[in-house]
Amino acid sequence: MRKADEELVWQAIAGETEAFTALVDRYRCLAYGVALHYLHHVEDAKDIAQEAFIQAYLHLPELRDGACFSSWLRRLTLNLCADFLRRRGMRLLSLEGLPETTENRRQMGQSLPMRPYTEMPVERVTDRLMVRQALARLSEKTRLTVTLCYLGGYSHAEIARFLEIPVNTVRSRLQIAKRQLREEMTMLNDALSADKPDMQFTRKVVEEALRRGQEAMAAYRKGEAFAHYNEALAALENWTPDREQRQFRMDALWSRGVITEQMQRGHVDALVDLENALAIAVELGDKRSQADKRCALADAYYNSNNQALAPKYVENYRQALALYEEVGDGARQGDCLMALGMGTLWGDVPEGRKTIEEALARFEAASAYARSAQACAVLDLLKEVGEARFPRLNGFMAGSDILGIQGGAIRHRSNSVVVSYSWKDGPEGEGELPLKVQDVFAQLARMGTFLPENVAVGARWASSVESASLQPLTVLTTIQSFSERVVVPAGEFTSCLLTEQVTTESDQPDDAPEARKQVNQREYCGVRCAWYAPGVGLIQLQVRRDDGVEALIQLQHYEVTMESAGYLPIAVGNTWAYGWANTPPGYIAKEVYRITAFTGEAAYLEHYGFVDQPALPEP
| CATH code, domain carrying 268 | 1.25.40.10
CB atoms near residue 179 (< 10 Å):
8
Note whether 473 and 457 are within 8 A (CB): no
pLDDT (0 to 100) of residue 571? 95
How confident is the prediction for the chain on average, in pLDDT?
A: 79
Count the alpha carbons within 13 Å of 119 in the hemisphere toward its beta carbon: 2
Residues constituting the chain:
619
**Higher pLDDT pick, 474 / 151:** 474
pLDDT (0 to 100) of residue 90? 58
| Proportion of the chain above pLDDT 70, given as a percent | 79
Quick one: 155 and 270 in the same domain?
A: no
Q: Residue 378: inside a domain, yes or no? A: no
169-204, pLDDT tens digit by residue? 888 877 777 666 554 544 445 544 555 555 666 667
The pLDDT-based confidence of 420 (bands split at 50, 70, 90) is low
Quick one: 128 and 147 in the same domain?
A: yes
As a whole number of angstroms, the distance between CA 503 and CA 484 comes to 23
Quick one: 484 and 535 in the same domain?
A: yes
Residue 444 has pLDDT above 80, yes or no: no
Residue 37 contacts by C-beta under 8 Å, 6 or more apart in sequence? 143, 144, 147
Quick one: 149 and 211 in the same domain?
A: no
CATH value at residue 19: 1.10.1740.10
Q: How buried is residue 412: exposed, middle or buried, by Cβ count under 10 Å (0-12/13-18/19+)?
A: buried
- Please name which of 454, 441, 437 lies closest in space to residue 413, comparing C-alpha atoms: 441
Strand partners, 504: 474
205-255, pLDDT tens digit by residue? 777 777 787 777 776 677 778 888 887 887 787 677 888 888 888 988 988
374-413, pLDDT tens digit by residue? 999 999 999 999 998 888 888 888 999 998 888 778 888 8
Q: pTM for this structure?
A: 0.66
Question: What is the distance of C-alpha 516 from the center of its chain?
Answer: 16
Residue 432 has pLDDT above 80, yes or no: no
Quick one: 42 and 175 in the same domain?
A: yes
Taking residues 289-304, what's their average pLDDT? 89
Quick one: 480 and 423 in the same domain?
A: yes
Q: To which H or E segment does residue 47 belong?
A: helix 42-58
pLDDT (0 to 100) of residue 289? 92
Taking residues 314-338, what's their average pLDDT? 95
As a whole number of angstroms, the distance between CA 197 and CA 50 comes to 10
Amino acid at 452: P
Residue 58 has pLDDT above 60, yes or no: yes
Residue 489 contacts by C-beta under 8 Å, 6 or more apart in sequence? 554, 555, 556, 557, 579
Taking residues 89-115, what's their average pLDDT? 40
Taking residues 430-451, what's their average pLDDT? 67
pLDDT (0 to 100) of residue 315? 94
Range of the domain at 296: 202-328
Quick one: 62 and 141 in the same domain?
A: yes
Taking residues 270-296, what's their average pLDDT? 92
Quick one: 153 and 271 in the same domain?
A: no
Indicate the SS3 state at residue 276: helix
Taking residues 315-344, what's their average pLDDT? 94
Q: Residue 504: inside a domain, yes or no? A: yes
Domain boundary among 197, 216, 232: 197
- Please name which of 47, 52, 91, 105 lies closest in space to residue 74, comparing C-alpha atoms: 52
As a whole number of angstroms, the distance between CA 432 and CA 426 comes to 9
Quick one: 449 and 508 in the same domain?
A: yes
Q: Residue 115: inside a domain, yes or no? A: yes
Domain boundary among 149, 165, 197: 197
The pLDDT-based confidence of 336 (bands split at 50, 70, 90) is very high
Split into its structural domains, the chain has a count of 3
* Strands across the sheet containing 550-559: 449-451, 409-419, 395-406, 602-612, 588-598, 575-580, 550-559, 537-545, 526-533, 491-504, 473-488, 460-465
Quick one: 404 and 537 in the same domain?
A: yes
